[in-house]
Amino acid sequence: MTAALASQGYGFLTGPGWNLVADARYMLGFAFMRNAFAAGTASALVAGLVGYFVVLRASSFAAHAISHIGFAGAAGAVLLGVNPVLGVGVLSLTASVGMGLLGRRLRGRDVVIGLVMAASLGLGYLFISLYTGNATDAYAVLFGQIFGITTGAVQITVLTSVVVLALLAAGYRPLLFASLDEEVAEARGIRVGAVGLGFMVLLALAVSEAVQVSGVLLIFALLVAPGAIAGRVFRRPAAALALSAGLAVLITWASLALAFYTPYPVSFYVTSLAFVLYLGARAMTGRAGLGRRLSAAVRPSREPSADTGPPATVRL
C-alpha cells in the first residue's frame, strides 16, 4: 500500500509532457497504473450499464444503501485479515438479495433501508476501532484505492465484469421490460420477481467492483451519474446504455490520469467529473435547458422582439 501511495507521486513529480501519446505510454509503463486501468475499465463498464437500469428502476437509494452495508463487510474483513473487497461482496450480496426478496414491497421502505444502512455503518466503525493495525485499508474502502490494487484482484474484477456483462446481455429485454412496465411485463409472462432479484445480485456485484475505484461513500458518482446523464441525453435505451458505459469508462480513465499527474486522489476526480457532466447534461436537456434555448435562438423568430420595455437600469 505504501509503495503504491509513493508511486502515485511519480507522475506528479515529473508532470505531464502535454504529448498525450507519450504521457499515456509513460503512465502505463508502471505496473500499478496498468492494473488500475484494467480494473477501473472493467468496473466502470459494469457500473455504467447497471447504473442505467438503477436509474430506470428508480433504485438509486438501494444502490447507495448496498454499498454502505458493504462497508461493514469491508471493515469486518480488515479485522479478520481478509481482502476487504471480498467483505464488501459478501455483505452487499446479502443485502441486495434481502432487498430483492422484498420485491415490489421495497418501495416506500426507505426508512427501513436507511436504518439497516446506518446500523451497518456503525458496525463497520466498530470493526475499524477494534482493528489495531493500520487503518489505511478501511480508509481505502471508504474512498477507493484503485492504485493499490493487486494483480490477483484485477483478475477477479475483470472476471466479475465478464460474468455481469454476459448476464446483462442474456436478460436485457426482460430486464428492460420489467424496469419500464412491470405490470405488462408480468402479464407477458416475465417473472418480474425473479428478474428483480437477479438485478439486485448484478447490482451488488457492480457495487463491489466500483467500490475499488470510488469507495463506498462516493459510489453514486460512478454507479448513478453516468446512467442519469445518459437517460437525459438519449431516448433510445440501447444508445443510452452505450453512452452510460462510455461515460463511466471515460470518467475513470480521466480520473486515473489526472490523479497520476497531480497529488490529488482518484475518487475526488471521479466525483467531480461526474458532477460537472451531470450539471452539463441538465443544462443542455432540461425543460428550460440551454440546449433548447440555443436551438430556439438559432431559429429566426417570426415576430419582431416584443421586448421593447425601458432599458434596464445598470446597478453598480
Partner 1 sequence: MTGVPVIGATGLASGYRGRTVWSGAGFSVADGEFLTVLGPNGAGKSTLLRMILGLLRPAAGTLRVFGEPPLRGNPAIGYVPQRRALDPDLGVRAADMVGLGVDGHRWGVGVSPAKRRERADAVSHALASVGAAPLAGRAVGRLSGGEQQRLQLAQALVARPRLLLLDEPLASLDLRSQQEVSQLVADLRAEYGFTVVLVTHDINPVLAVTDRVMYIAGGGVSVGRPADVITSASLSRLYQAEVEVLTDSRGRLFVVGLDAETAHPHSPRGARS
Place of cell 451531470: 278
For partner 1, the binding residue among 181, 194, 197, 284 (CB under 8 A) is 181
On whether the CB atoms of residues 33 and 10 are closer than 8 A, the answer is no
Q: How many CA atoms lie within 13 A of 316 on its CB side?
A: 0
Evaluated on CA atoms 249, 250, 253, 258, the torsion sign reads: negative
Place of cell 446483462: 168
* Closer residue to partner 1 (CB): 162 or 170: 170
For partner 1, the binding residue among 176, 203, 247, 277 (CB under 8 A) is 176
Stretch that binds partner 1, among 63-71, 102-110, 147-155, 186-194 (CB under 8 A): 186-194
Shortest Å, Cβ 38 to partner 1: 25
* Set of cell numbers at residue 297: 435562438
Inter-axis angle of helices 237-261 and 266-285, to 10 degrees? 140
Count of residues touching partner 1 (by CB under 8 A): 27
For partner 1, the binding residue among 30, 61, 125, 234 (CB under 8 A) is 234
100 Cβ contact partners less than 8 Å away, ≥ 6 residues apart: 196, 197, 198, 199, 200, 201
Span 54-83, contacts to partner 1 by CB under 8 A = 56, 58
Stretch that binds partner 1, among 24-32, 94-102, 170-178, 271-279 (CB under 8 A): 170-178
* Closer residue to partner 1 (CB): 236 or 299: 236
Could you tell me the CA-to-CA distances from 220 to 22, 137, 290, 301, 314 in Å, in that order? 33, 21, 25, 42, 43
For partner 1, the binding residue among 125, 167, 186, 280 (CB under 8 A) is 186
Q: Does 188 bind partner 1 (CB under 8 A)?
A: yes
Stretch that binds partner 1, among 23-31, 201-209, 230-238, 294-302 (CB under 8 A): 230-238
Q: Does 284 bind partner 1 (CB under 8 A)?
A: no
Q: Residue 307 has what DSSP assignment?
A: -
Q: Does 187 bind partner 1 (CB under 8 A)?
A: yes
Q: Does 107 bind partner 1 (CB under 8 A)?
A: no
* Closer residue to partner 1 (CB): 124 or 198: 198
Q: How many CA atoms lie within 13 A of 301 on its CB side?
A: 9
For partner 1, the binding residue among 6, 21, 169, 297 (CB under 8 A) is 169
Long-range CB pairs of 232-241 (<8 Å, 24+ gap) are 232/281, 232/282, 232/285, 233/281, 233/284, 233/285, 237/52, 237/56, 237/176, 240/52, 241/48, 241/49, 241/52
Stretch that binds partner 1, among 4-12, 137-145, 176-184, 302-310 (CB under 8 A): 176-184
Between CA 88 and CA 216 the distance in angstroms is 9
Q: Does 189 bind partner 1 (CB under 8 A)?
A: yes
Evaluated on CA atoms 203, 209, 215, 219, the torsion sign reads: negative
* Set of cell numbers at residue 248: 463511466
Q: Does 105 bind partner 1 (CB under 8 A)?
A: no
Span 237-256, contacts to partner 1 by CB under 8 A = 237, 240
Q: Does 315 bind partner 1 (CB under 8 A)?
A: no
Summarize as ranges the residues that interact with partner 1 (CB under 8 A).
56, 58, 169-174, 176-177, 180-181, 183-190, 231-232, 234-237, 240
